């Protein structure tokens, strides 16, 4: 037996290294994707147990397991999964309260990595309208158009589960700031995202709730720290803290970017 036959190997798509599409993806995130891809192959062998209601092969990779295999902290494992989701390589959803998250290779990844679509999915972006496999229209948690990031909350979602999802998204354990304020922000985000009215009041105007939810789903620990910093540095008394926070969270991605650009320009000109 040759040396090569004594080892098992992970499948590592060459496009992860060669394609400019993944130039911003960290090396650890690429390794995690290779691990997910490898496990997807095992799921395919046991398709009777690892096929979702859409006919897609899925894997289960818990945060704790990722931490163990990569030797990293929980916050980093969460961040790596978020990298893969943002890059369009995977989709992650929960199929019921209390159950571990399921991960599938995203339809967009098949073409980007030049993987045969029939390998891991029965649905492809070319044959059907691509939707996030977080759910069917009747019993899902979220429903997201693959290309526009608009998310709709189903009233049946567990409030506690939503809070847990937000904590994971913003990397709660990594945030530097007043713990009580961070908790209040999380609760406000959960209230907005679980609301059933079609609009949310922001700065005296009504915005479609799905648009607000879409913005909230893009928030990170940096945005939360930025909002807390704005509150702490404010010289005026905030009369309605909840309304202020909703507005600040909604505008955080754009205002933070403008603030960073202004600071960069200041230092360059002085």
Say whether 236 sits in a helix, a strand or coil.
Answer: coil
pLDDT computed for residue 98 by the predictor: 55
How far apart (Å, rounded) are the C-alpha atoms in residues 91 and 216?
18
Contact 104, 50 (CB under 8 A): no
Domains in the chain, ordered, with CATH? 1-148 (1.10.10.10), 155-270 (no CATH)
pLDDT: which is higher, 234 or 213: 213
Instruction: Name the pTM for this structure.
Output: 0.45
What are 50-65's pLDDT values in tens digits? 888 778 889 998 888 9
Structure tokens at 187: 């609760």
Helix (H) or strand (E) holding 88: none
What are 87-109's pLDDT values in tens digits? 888 888 776 555 677 898 887 77
Scanning the structure block, which residue is given the tokens 């037996």? 1
């Amino acid at each position: 037996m040759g040396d090569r036959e004594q080892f098992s190997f992970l499948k590592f798509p060459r496009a992860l290294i060669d394609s400019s599409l993944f130039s911003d993806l960290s090396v650890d995130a690429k390794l995690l994707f290779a691990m997910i891809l490898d496990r997807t192959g095992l799921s395919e062998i046991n398709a009777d147990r690892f096929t979702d209601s859409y006919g897609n092969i899925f894997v289960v990779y818990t945060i704790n397991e990722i931490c163990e295999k990569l030797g990293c902290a929980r916050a980093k494992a969460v961040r790596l999964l978020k990298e893969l989701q943002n890059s369009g390589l995977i989709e992650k959803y929960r199929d019921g309260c209390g159950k571990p998250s399921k991960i599938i290779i995203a339809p967009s990844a098949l073409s980007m990595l030049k993987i045969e679509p029939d390998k891991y999915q029965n649905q492809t972006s070319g044959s059907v309208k691509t939707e996030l496999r977080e759910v069917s229209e009747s019993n899902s948690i979220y429903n997201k158009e693959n290309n526009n990031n608009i998310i709709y909350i189903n009233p049946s979602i567990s409030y506690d589960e939503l809070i847990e999802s937000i904590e994971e998204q913003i990397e709660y354990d990594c945030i530097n700031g007043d713990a009580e304020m961070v908790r209040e922000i999380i609760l406000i985000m959960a209230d907005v995202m679980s609301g059933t009215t079609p609009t949310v009041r922001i700065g005296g105007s009504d915005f479609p709730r799905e648009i607000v939810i879409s913005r909230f789903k893009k928030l990170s620990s940096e945005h939360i720290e930025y909002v807390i910093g704005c509150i702490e540095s404010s010289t005026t008394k905030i009369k309605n803290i909840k309304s202020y926070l909703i507005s600040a969270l909604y505008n955080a991605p754009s205002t933070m970017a403008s603030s960073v650009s202004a600071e960069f320009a200041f230092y360059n000109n002085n």
